[in-house]
A and B are shown apart, each in its own frame.
Chain A
Amino acid sequence: MAKTKELSNDTTIIAIEFDGGVVLGSDSRVSAGETVVNRVMNKLSLLHDKIYCALSGSAADAQTIAEMVNYQLDVHSIEVGEDPQVRSAASLVKNISYKYKEELSAHLIVAGWDKRGGGQVSVRDLNGLLSRQPFAVGGSGSAYVYGFVDAEYRKAMSKEDCQQFVVNTLSLAMSRDGSSGGVAYLVTIDEKGAEEKCILGNELPTFYDQ
């Protein structure tokens, strides 16, 4: 009898800060072992109006963490009477991940905009250290694009350049990683709000051998 493997978001996720906001991107493949169970899953999850997170690792764990933090942020923002800070969202994610680190295997990148810090990307490493970085990549596909992002990232890129950078990175990772594929989802967050975009597979940039 065939044994179903756990649903996994082995994936490619990326988040970058630009002057005035952040851009998050992800692929859309969810696999259970060798089978693609969902080819159009949006892994960019809303935590608050201007704070999103990108999910990777175990699909169930990641979604649950995102939903719990969404609820906790709603309560928190009502209590303080204003939009929550990105670092608050990141701390809430960290608290859950750290407390249950033996049981959970999900990795979330939190990114958003708040009026105190502007655009910020927060990422937690394997042991639980939370740090703010100018950009972060995650998921199984990220290994293939470390070189590319190291070489191409520039400080203070414009919003459009950032979006193009994210799309290029996702496209490269999806073409090399078996666990990443489908369409590319992008979310751009700035002072005015969050804008979601979906780029279909045939509209992704192609490179020399395609």
Chain B
Amino acid sequence: MFNTPDHHLGGVTFNGGVIIGSDSRASIGGYYVSSKTINKLIQVHDRIFCCIAGSLADAQAVTKAAKFQISFHSIQMESPPLVKAAASVLRELCYNNKEELQAGFITAGWDRKKGPQVYTVALGGMLLSQPFTIGGSGSTYIYGYADAKYKPDMSKEECLQFATNALALAMGRDNVSGGVAHLVVITEEGVEHVVIPGDKLPKFHDE
């Protein structure tokens, strides 16, 4: 069975918002880098982003369908959608098409009801809410780092540093992750997109 490498991404809540981040490499078969600067953070609504892992083609198709459903839902409800609603839409699509699809999602956003939240939708369609989560092939290498360094109620700057370090460490060890680090900070006030090019990423002891 062809092993689809699937890069690396993560979402973390902090005091007042959430940060979602990913690398920017797309590859074919783990040998050829088809894009060095792809943005895997897709905006599905004003304050809700999702990042994609797995087959990028599947993920793009699913997010396109999800974006439509979420904006329709928000018009019907006459209010911005809940992050959980957006994550559920993705989950329905993943679960009902689990035979054909090979994509996982991390949904992160802010809503008026519960504030900042992170949801993960796994390959088969399981939906789980967590204070932070990591995913993709590069994530195995940073489980230890994330477990050790995550603290609840971080400030925005601490959280940015945590997410940047985690991405840099994973990109340093995983050959199908790389390029630049894309980070999106979502708060009640708005959305801020931070791009950190490869040479500005934090360096560790052996670099």
Residues of A within 8 A of B (CB): 143-155, 168-169, 172-173, 175-176, 207-209
List of B residues within 8 angstroms of A172 by Cβ: 143-144, 147-148
Segment of B78-86, B94-102, B165-173 in the binding face: B165-173
Please name all residues of chain A whose beta carbon is closer than 8 Å to the beta carbon of B170 when the two chains form the complex: 147
B77 → chain A closest CB, angstroms: 34
* Closest residue on chain A to residue B142 by CB atoms: A147
| A147-B145, A151-B149 known, 17 other contacts, Cβ within 8 Å | A144-B141, A144-B143, A146-B173, A147-B166, A147-B169, A148-B145, A152-B148, A153-B204, A153-B205, A154-B205, A155-B205, A168-B148, A172-B144, A175-B147, A176-B147, A208-B152, A209-B147
Query: Among B142, B146, B148, B149, which residue has the most Cβ atoms of chain A within 10 A?
Result: B148
Tell me whether A147 and B151 are in contact (CB under 8 A).
no
How far in angstroms is the closest Cβ of chain A from B128?
13
Q: Min CB distance, B86 to chain A, in Å? A: 25
Binding site for A on B (CB under 8 A): 140-152, 165-166, 169-170, 172-173, 204-206
Selected contact of A146 from candidates B141, B149, B151, CB within 8 Å? B141
Contacts of B173 in A (CB 8 A): 146-147, 150
Residue of chain A at shortest CB distance from B130? A209
Q: Label chain B's interface by main secondary structure.
A: helix
Ranked 7 nearest A-B pairs via Cβ: A145-B144, A147-B142, A148-B144, A147-B145, A147-B169, A172-B144, A144-B143
Q: How far is the CA of A148 from the CA of B141 in the complex (A)?
A: 8
Docked-complex contact B140 and A151, CB < 8 angstroms: no
> What are 14 A-B interface contacts by the 8 Å CB criterion?
A143-B140, A145-B143, A146-B142, A146-B144, A146-B169, A148-B142, A150-B169, A150-B173, A150-B204, A152-B148, A173-B144, A176-B147, A207-B150, A209-B147
Give the docked Cα–Cα distance between A151 and B202 (Å): 10
**B141: nearest chain-A partner, CB-CB:** A146
Residue in A closest to B170 when the chains form the complex, CB atoms: A147
User: When A and B form their complex, what is the total count of cross-chain residue pairs whose Cβ atoms lie within 8 Å?
Assistant: 65
Complex CA–CA separation, A173 to B142 (angstroms):
10
Majority secondary structure, A binding face:
helix
Whether B150 lies near A208 (C-beta < 8 A) is yes
Docked pose: A153 CA to B71 CA in angstroms? 47
With A150-B173, A151-B204 as given contacts, are A176 and B151 in contact (CB-CB < 8 Å)? no
Minimum CB–CB distance for A133 against chain B, Å: 9
Shortest A157–chain B CB gap in Å is 11
When chains A and B are docked, how far (Å) is the Cα of A5 from the Cα of B173? 31
Distance of A169 Cα from B144 Cα, bound (Å): 7
Q: Smallest CB–CB gap between A174 and chain B, Å?
A: 10
Residues of B within 8 A of A146 (CB): 141-142, 144, 169, 173
Closest Cβ neighbor of A155 among chain B residues: B205
Q: Could you tell me if B152 and A144 are in contact, using CB atoms closer than 8 angstroms? A: no
Shortest distance from the beta carbon of B141 to any chain A beta carbon, whole Å: 4
Q: Say whether, besides A146-B173, A150-B205, A153-B205, A208 and B145 are in contact (CB < 8 Å).
A: no
Q: State the Cβ distance, A87 to closest chain B Cβ, in Å.
A: 21
Which chain B residues border A152 with CB–CB below 8 Å?
148
**In the complex, A150→B165 CA distance in Å?**
10
* CB within 8 Å for A144 and B144 given contacts A150-B169, A150-B172, A208-B152: yes
Q: Which residues of B contact A149 (CB under 8 A)?
A: 144
Which residue of chain B lies nearest to A153 when distances are taken between CB atoms in the complex? B205
Q: Is A151 within 8 A of B165, CB to CB?
A: yes
Tell me the minimal C-beta distance from B14 to chain A in angstroms. 14
- Chain A residue numbers with a CB within 8 Å of B143 are 144-145, 147, 172, 176
CA distance A175 to B169 in the complex (A): 20
Known: A208-B150, A208-B151, A208-B152. A147 touches B205 (CB 8 A): no
